[in-house]
Structure 1
Amino acid sequence: MRSLRHFDLNLLLVFETLMHERHVTRAAETLHLSQPALSHALKRLRESLDDPLLVRTENGMQPTPRALALLPVVQQALAMLRQGLAPPAMFSPANSTRRFTLATTDYFEEVMYPLFLSQLLAYAPGISFSIELITPDVLSEGLEQRQIDMVVGLDSQSALPSGVIQTPWMDEELVCLVATHNGRVGDALDIAQFAQEPHVELADISGLRPSNIDSCLVQHGLTRRVISKNLNYIAAARVVALTEAIMTLPRQMAERFVAMLPVRLVEPPKELPALKMTLIQHGLYANDPANAWLHKVLVEFANDFRR
């Protein structure tokens, strides 16, 4: 036999079928080949293995000892190939005990996550989640090393580490929050007054996100003064409640603070962009059945949440 490098591995399937059928015409039909094509393949097999393999007898085509010895080896090799090339098993949320780790924003964790989890547990009772902060390490290493399954809710980025996949997920309207005692600010702000007011904002611990608000102001020749950068929305909202500062945040988060703190909603300048949230995962695992399922249910949840 010539070296494996010169052997046509497609002939192994022909060999297995011939050994099963022991009839050229039936083997050709099984493989959806013409009889001449199958006969040519048998000729190549004989030449490659230097053995007739199948010999015509009074009892029909019979395998040679070489063919009989080779058959279990070929069957085992083909079985392993079929198993390896088969699509991965479907993810079964109803039977899974998988723990997913999500790196998320305050907004997702506070406004969406409780409802998201409660809906999933109705049909996937064994699934659980861990929630982590979005940090530079999460985006550069956590996703790649599968310490984090998905980053949920981060504002759209212009640049991300190589290998990660970012997809649009959900847009949310932004509003401003001010203390109820703030007499300088009315029910709405134009962009000039917006820039003049002191601001509270969230610190960007991801290390990647330029401020969309500051970028918008620069486009209009304006800047603002940020008096406090906080790690979470509730702390920032408490600062607003006790100062003359304003804060810009998603409407549904702001509405929660109106019910909790002495603050009120103010319509922001029309020039401010909406919050465009994304889903981020690593390309290494995007086709993993569990990750694909998680991505799918998050997209479906966002679509229902917007209605």
Structure 2
Amino acid sequence: MRSLRHFDLNLLLVFEALMRERHVTRAAEKLHLSQPALSHALKRLRDALEDPLLIRTNTGLQPTPRALALLPVVQQALAMLQEGLAPPTNFLPATSARHFTLATTDYFEEVMYPTFLSQLLTYAPDISFSIELITPNVLSEGLEQRQVDMVVGLDSQSALPSGVIQHAWMDEALVCLAATDNNQVGDALELHQFAREPHVALTDITGLRPSNIDSCLVQHGLTRRVISKNLNYIAAARVVALTNAIMTLPRQMAKRFVTMLPVRIVVPPKELPALNMTLIQHGLYANDPALVWLTQSLIEFASTFKQKGVE
């Protein structure tokens, strides 16, 4: 044989079946081929390997020394191919000690993660998680290099690098938060008053998109004055509690601050969009059984969260 590039690798299956059966008809049946087709394949094998391989004798087909020497090599190669081409093994959460790294928003970490983790541990007791911030590096390199398994909670409007896969996950209504003694703001805000009030906003740590709130205001010919940009919701809520500023945030997060700080929930303008959160992972690892399981677990949890209002 001059070159592997010119060798039909399907003939290795024919060779192995013939060596095992030592009978053309039986080998053809095992391979679901006709007897003439197998005979033709045997001829091609002999031509390619420049050896008769199997010789008909009084006791049936007998292998040549070259065939006997080649058999274990072919069997090993076929076994390795079979193993390599087999689908990934199922992920078994009950016995897995897999460690997952999630880059998340503080909304997910504060509102959903504790309950999510406690529920998972009831049937996957040895799994563990690390929580990290969402950064541009996470999206551009962290996911691809498996430093982070998944990004949880990023808004669906975010611009994303190529190669990543974004799944719709859950949406959350936005509300406004104001200090309890803020007399400038009533129980509800219409869009023009909303734009006139001083605001506390969150810094977009990804640097990938303008605020959906600002985009909404621009569409109506309005802008707002942001007096403070903060990295997390709790710091922003504390600023609101001590000033006449308002902030806009997901309802479940706002409900927590009402029990912690002297703040109250205000109905926002009807024009404001909801927060549409996503799950993001890299396409290279989309078929990893563990990540498939984790994605499904997060989707199921989000559905329960919305239906029951898990606190």
Aligned residue for 2:42? Answer: 42
State the alpha-carbon separation in 2 of the partners of residues 139 and 200 from structure 1. 26
Check the 8 A contact 1:199/1:245 in 2, yes or no.
yes
After superposition, what is the alpha-carbon deviation per residue over 1:271-300, rounded to whole angstroms, capped at 9, x for unaligned?
Answer: 000000011111121112222221121111
2:235 aligned with 1:235 = yes
- What SS class does the counterpart of residue 177 from structure 1 fall into? strand
Name the TM-score, length of structure 2 as normaliser: 0.96
- Hey, what's the Cα distance between the residues in 2 that align with 1:45 and 1:133? 59
What is the CA-CA distance between 1:158 and the residue it aligns to?
Answer: 4.5
SS at match of 1:284: helix
Distance 2:252 2:132 in 1: 21
Q: Deviations over 1:28-77 (max 9, x none)?
A: 11111111111111111111112221122221211112111111111111
CA displacement at 1:128 relative to structure 2? 0.6
Alignment of 1:295-306 (within 5 A): 295-306=295-306
Equivalence for 1:259: 259
Corresponding residue of 1:222: 222
**For residues 7 and 173 of structure 2, what CA distance do their matches in structure 1 show?**
63
What is the DSSP-based 3-state SS (H/G/I as helix, E as strand, rest coil) of the residue aligned with 2:285? coil
- The match for 1:173 is 173
What amino acid does structure 2 have at the position aligned with 1:181? Answer: D
The within-5 A match list for 1:76-225 is 76-225=76-225
TM-score normalized with structure 1 length: 0.97
Farther-moved stretch of structure 1 (138-147 vs 118-127):
138-147
Counterpart position of 1:282: 282
Are 1:200 and 1:229, in contact at CA under 8 Å, matched by a contact in 2? yes
Q: Quote the Cα distance in structure 1 between the aligned partners of 2:91 and 2:163.
A: 23
Percent identity at matched positions? Answer: 83
For 2:3 and 2:231, the matched residues in 1 are separated by: 64
Alignment deviations for residues 199-225 of structure 1 (CA, whole Å, 9 cap, x no partner): 011111111131000000000000000
2:64 is aligned with 1:64: yes
Provide the secondary structure at the position in 2 that maps to 1:280: strand
- Measured on the aligned residues, the alpha-carbon RMSD in Å equals 1.1
Render the CA deviation track for 1:12-40: whole Å, top value 9, x for unaligned.
Answer: 00000011111111111111111111111
1:172-212 C-alpha deviation (Å, 9 max, x unpaired): 00001111111121111110100000001111111113100
1:14 aligns with 2:14: yes
Name the SS for the 1:188 alignment partner: coil
Q: Distance in 1 between matches of 2:172 and 2:156?
A: 12
Which deviates the most, 294-303 or 125-134? Answer: 294-303
- Residue in structure 2 matched with residue 249 of structure 1 by the alignment: 249
**Structure 2: distance between partners of 1:189 and 1:158:** 27
Asked if the contact 1:155–1:209 (Cα under 8 Å) also holds between the matched residues in 2, the reply is no
Instruction: Give the whole-Å Cα distance in 2 for the aligned partners of 1:157 and 1:140.
Output: 17
Residue 270 (structure 1) shift: 0.5
| 1:31 alignment partner in structure 2 | 31
CA distance in 2, matches of 1:300, 1:35: 53
The 3-state SS of whatever aligns with 1:107 is: helix
Contact 1:175 1:250 in 2 (8 A): yes
Matched residue type, 1:120: L
Q: How much does 1:133 deviate? A: 0.8
1:2 is displaced (CA, Å) by 3.0
